[in-house]
Amino acid sequence: MMQDAHIHLQDSGAEADKILTSAKARRVGMFFCNGTSTDDWPKVKSLADSCDGVVPFFGIHPWSADRAVNGWDDILVKYLSDPKACIGEIGLDKAKKNVDFEKQREIFTRQLDIAIELRRPFAVHCVQAWDTLVEEIRRRTDKNICFMVHWFSGSPETAAELIKLGAYISFSPRLIYERALKHRESFSATPINKVLLETDYPYLPDAIARNTQDAEKYFEWLGALYGIAARLKNMETEAFEDKVWENGTIFLH
């Protein structure tokens, strides 16, 4: 059975229903469904409430940091009254120049503190801000931290540093492409007990996905990603799937 460690089903329109209806038959048993602002949390919650395999993550995405409504943190805490709820997608993105980085950092660290206080795993988006990410998490490492870095794009050294701080590393369909050398290098360097795989559906880059809004294509990409990843780890696909599944169960705290 496969799991998708990072997806936005709430943004997938009619395809979300198709994906969830055929998930079991396509051997996908778990979806970590990430919110990005208070606007989409109700949809994430209703998807999780209506489907066992959907694990809800509520968070303010760094791209939405400057649009966070007053009292967003109180709203977040209310959503976290669901014991299976995690925090995400949260993070830091220096490539997103039109959202002030200090504002991103403020919103991110507040969510980190809530995650630690309420003992919830969290999902991180990080682009070109690895030093700040490591610094903020390291500051809190005496606490029990469990998190994943989604669509990991950093170096093998950064992955190793994050793993030491408690991270799981989630790899994207970029791994399918042989020219994605850096992704493959970081993937090879990540121990199997720290690997997760994801699609970020429906936000696959155009180069990878020409027809993003398509449930059939979704299952093809996820299957191809697992197939390539198993091969890169020199494992039988089934044994590999079992191992990744087990890694993901940590987030079912």
Interface contacts to Zn ion, rule CB under 5 A? 89, 200
Residue 36 C-beta: closest distance to Zn ion, Å: 7
> In 3D, which of 150, 138, 130 has the Cα closest to residue 203?
150
Distance CA 123, CA 132 (A): 16
- Taking CB atoms, the residue at the shortest distance from Zn ion is 200
Query: At residue 114, what is the residue type?
Result: I
Residue 6 C-beta: closest distance to Zn ion, Å: 6
Residue 194 C-beta: closest distance to Zn ion, Å: 20
- Phi-psi bin for 3: left (phi > 0), alpha (psi -120 to 50), beta? beta
Secondary element (H or E) of residue 201: none
- 32 or 130: CB nearest Zn ion: 32
Residue 227 C-beta: closest distance to Zn ion, Å: 23
DSSP state of 202: T
Residue 68 C-beta: closest distance to Zn ion, Å: 17
> What are residue 165's phi and psi, to 5 degrees?
-90, 5
DSSP state of 69: P
- 25 or 207: CB nearest Zn ion: 207
Kindly write down the DSSP assignment for every residue of 17-60, as one continuous string. Answer: HHHHHHTTTTTEEEEEEE--STTTHHHHHHHHHH-TTEEEEE--
